[in-house]
Amino acid sequence: MQYVKSIGLNSNQQIGRGFNHPYDIAFSENNRIYVLNRMYPQSTDGIRVQICDFDDEWYGEFGHGPGDTNDKFLVPVCIDFNDEEKLYVTDESHHQIKIFDKDGSFLEAWGRNTSKITSLEAPSGICFDSDGNALVVQQFKGTVLRISNDGNILQTFGEPGSEPGELNLPWGICTDTEDNIYVADWRNDRIQKFDSDGKFIQNFGEPGSGEGQLSRPSSVAVADDGRVIVADWGNERVQIFDKNGSFQTILQGEATLSKWASEWLDVNQDELNARHTADLAIKTLPSHLNTPYHKASQTEHIFWGPVSVKIDKTQLLYVTEHSRHRIQIFDLK
């Protein structure tokens, strides 16, 4: 697996090119990347979806927040396209799924204060099965909903708990080429695999920081060859398992400056000079700071807040880092 490049830049502006705590991405059919900026409680003005591409071109943004209307975001979590090129965005605070077209025009919302799925509670991860139905995680209920494209609940599976098939604050979700379903079981520190009917198959990982162990996994993706990619958020890394759940390798991050960052430094020479004198790759820290979080926060090229993993149709892996406001891209082939 080879590092390819990074996209992104921490922007002090809440509009225009540059990310503000990105939490998830989705890919359109024309290969554009839709980046969901969540922001954080102390500064929410940059909430929005931005559109860019692999070559660092920037195409605009929409859905600004915070706002209380159905077309605005409050605490957005995850994002994905269905097969009709409709973009679905979950908002855990509004308890809604908001739907846009690929140009960013608002279409409708499901959940509270709407006429559909009014019992929706704290939706997070979202993906689609091969029939075009949405699979939506409900964090606080510990369940997964299967929803038709006209907004009707077709199935609910999972329940709160820590036993096999039970979920505790689940987050990300994805499917594989056989329509098996994978859920990032955040509080239980594991990935759970279900078949296409929602029946439990197996768990991946266990609590801890060793190889194959997980701490608060937030996202999961499955490659065409069956490898399972996990955003091991609490351990500030990405782990890769084979299709049977056996540990394969760990990614720590290898970021280089993005095109946007390089262009910004070219016109801000004081910042560029400061970079030349700074130690951005600290190798050792005091023992009381020797945690994954502190190592990540002090070392620029490694992951810090790897919250989402997504795979495009060419089998490139995109790791979104909310705390470094960037996306690192790796070739899975």
* pLDDT-derived band at 41, boundaries 50, 70, 90: low
pLDDT tens, 265-311? 899 898 888 888 877 776 678 888 889 999 999 889 999 999 999 99
Q: How many Cβ atoms sit within 10 Å of the Cβ of residue 67?
A: 14
Provide the pLDDT for residue 277.
Answer: 81
Model confidence pTM above 0.75: yes
Provide the pLDDT for residue 287.
Answer: 83
Q: Give buried/exposed letters for 275-308 (b at 16+ CB in 10 A, else e).
A: eeeeeeeeeeeeeeeeebeebbbbbbbbbbbbbb
- DSSP for 146-158 reads EE-TTS-EEEEE-
Closest to 132 in 3D by CA, of 145, 148, 116, 153: 148
* Inter-residue contact 314 to 27 (CB < 8 Å): no
pLDDT tens, 276-289? 887 777 667 888 88
pLDDT tens, 130-158? 999 999 999 999 999 999 999 999 999 99
d(CA 240, CA 227): 7
Provide the pLDDT for residue 85.
Answer: 97
pLDDT tens, 92-123? 999 999 999 999 999 999 999 999 999 999 99
**Domains assigned to the chain:** 2-331 (2.120.10.30)
